[in-house]
Amino acid sequence: MIVTSLFALTCFTIIALAIGRLIWSKKASKQRAIMGISGIILFIELIKITQQHRGMHSGFLNGNLEFETKLINLKSNITTLYTNLLEFESEHAYPPSLSTHYPYKQWQRLIENDTLKSAESFQLHSGLIARQLDAMWDMSDEFSLTSNQQEHIQDLAQQLVKTLPELAESLGQVRALSVQVASKQEMSADKKLQLLFTLGKIEEHHRRLTTPLPDSTNERLINFIQEIKKSINYSTLYNQNPDAIFQEATQVIDEIFVFILAGFDSLKTTIKDVKILF
């Protein structure tokens, strides 16, 4: 009788410990996902400002000296964001192999190179942003956002970490290329093809959105794409004001980033509302 009771008590204790460990693990994963959003938001801001730096730097190298002061401010803001990201990684025991240290070094090499031409600047910036996007995806995966066991959380995270940022990045590329053309007042055949290809990518990302953009943003996006396409087809892009193009594109891109940040607020609430069951 005593042996049977001890055996039953042992089994109950083992089961209770296993359930307790499972609940603790799920709570820890939930909390880590919420913490990860803070790091992702830093990445979102970093990508946004790096895109602005790319567009202005291309215009500056093509003779638009009005961008010089703005570039200095952007450079300072980008460096600060890298510092904040590295501190975030340190505080949350982030794997060194995935560290933002690597794109940061790439950024430092870019800004220290004072012999760049406009096309080279565009390519280096675009390569850096591609690496930032990959690093943001890695962070999202590491903090159980795009790898979340809850399918609806995983799907929403994918839109916020991949589809929407890639849409904004394609728009940023069109902005930079258009500013190059307008600043230099000429458009080569290669530049024309590059613009048309990137406009096609924008339309593809736009179609893949599962949560539609606000009506006003959606309308501005469509109008901007149509205006650039029209100016390419009628060979009038190089006659336009580069600063005006930059501002028009920036308004659309900024609204997309506002939409992304609002999405992360919603995602955080969704994660908090998940019930811990066993």
12-34 pLDDT, tens digit per residue, is 455 544 444 434 345 556 778 88
Give this prediction's pTM: 0.85
Residue 10's pLDDT band (cuts 50, 70, 90)? low
**What is the reported pLDDT for 19?**
43
**What is the reported pLDDT for 87?**
95
Contact 159, 209 (CB under 8 A): yes
Contact 247, 175 (CB under 8 A): no
**What is the reported pLDDT for 5?**
55
Percent of the chain with pLDDT over 90: 59
Contact 27, 148 (CB under 8 A): no
In tens, the pLDDT along 32-55 reads 888 989 999 999 999 999 999 998
How many Cα atoms are found within 13 Å in the side-chain-facing hemisphere of 191?
23
Measured between its terminal Cα atoms, the distance across the chain in Å is: 32
**What is the reported pLDDT for 46?**
96
In tens, the pLDDT along 223-265 reads 999 999 999 988 888 888 888 888 999 999 999 999 999 999 9
Residue 276 has pLDDT above 70, yes or no: no
CA 135, CA 103: separation in Å to the nearest integer?
A: 8
Which residue reads 């909390």 in tokens? 31
